[in-house]
Amino acid sequence: MKLDNRLNAMTVDVEDYFQVSAFEGVIDRKDWDSISLRVGDNTHRLLDLFAENDVKATFFTLGWVAQRCPDVIKRLISEGHELASHGLAHQRATTMTREQLFSDVAESKAILEDIGGVKVIGYRAPSFSVNDTNTWVYDVLKEQGFIYSSSTYPIEHDLYGVPEWPRFKYDRPEGIIEIPIPTLRKNNANTGIGGGGYFRLYPYRLSKKRIQRFMNEEPHPYNFYFHPWEIDPDQPRIEGASLLSKFRHYINLSRMETKIVKLLKDYKWQTISRTYDIVKEQK
């Protein structure tokens, strides 16, 4: 029996273990093609889990990955999931000029739509890299025909975060809907509860308690994010990264799949577009 009957959004950031921002200082993008891919098999495993638990999800996918794993893209479309953009090659929006981002987003969108055969309306900036310094990202997304973004995390964090920005879905003045990663509010500060490293770090019972508190306190949908590499404890270890980066990346990988299955069973999950009625709002 579900713990809560409301509809929530399940999201997956489709990137491989060596493409994460934490390792960008020790792995050069020009070397990516020399590294054996694991993202295809890991994403197929996630699709299996979703099918077993009657879950639909939004897959924010790198164009780079889609080109090399077209079978994954075609399968997720055929099984009723939503295909969205995570950019081309996991370059953070804060490191690009407007022209560079326009090219990155345009190429990624074209690749995804060509392989998937569907219109791509959603975008998530790598590492939630939209903040006060680059709100022009939304203008670029509007120009490219996107309808929504899920690119902000309103928390304090050393790598990202916009703690003063809205916590819930809202309409940007540029004409894009923004759907932030969920947080809990306590002592005038926001705490992240959206998934990823927080979810791997804490015991499932604590994560469930925090998620349930959000659902009890807020009338808004909850949305969860994670990555295919997080259910892959056998992935190669990266040498040269900082101890903090290694801790964040490798903590509790062996327990993640079990936690994900519990989460899928405890709550109702759908795509972002369906959970937040994105398409209906545009009609």
pLDDT value at position 161?
67
Domain positions in the chain: 4-282
Neighbours of 256 (CB within 10 A): 19
Is the domain spanning 4-282 CATH 3.20.20.370? The answer is yes
pLDDT of residue 280: 58
pLDDT in tens, the chain (283 residues): 888 889 999 999 999 999 998 898 899 999 999 999 999 999 999 999 999 999 999 999 999 999 999 999 999 999 999 999 999 999 999 999 999 999 999 999 999 999 999 999 999 999 999 999 999 999 999 999 999 999 999 987 656 668 899 999 999 999 999 999 999 998 888 989 999 888 999 999 999 999 999 999 999 999 999 999 999 999 999 988 899 889 889 999 999 999 999 999 999 999 999 999 997 554 4
Which tokens belong to 73?
A: 């893209």
CA distance 206 to 264: 16
Q: How far is CA 196 from CA 109, 229, 259, in A?
A: 24, 11, 12
Select from 54, 58, 90, 49 the least CA-distant residue to 76: 58
Q: Which of 229, 227, 190 is nearest to 210 (CA)?
A: 190
- Structural tokens at position 174: 């540029």
* Residue 66 pLDDT: 98
> For residue 279, what pLDDT is reported?
75
Q: What is the pLDDT of residue 283?
A: 40
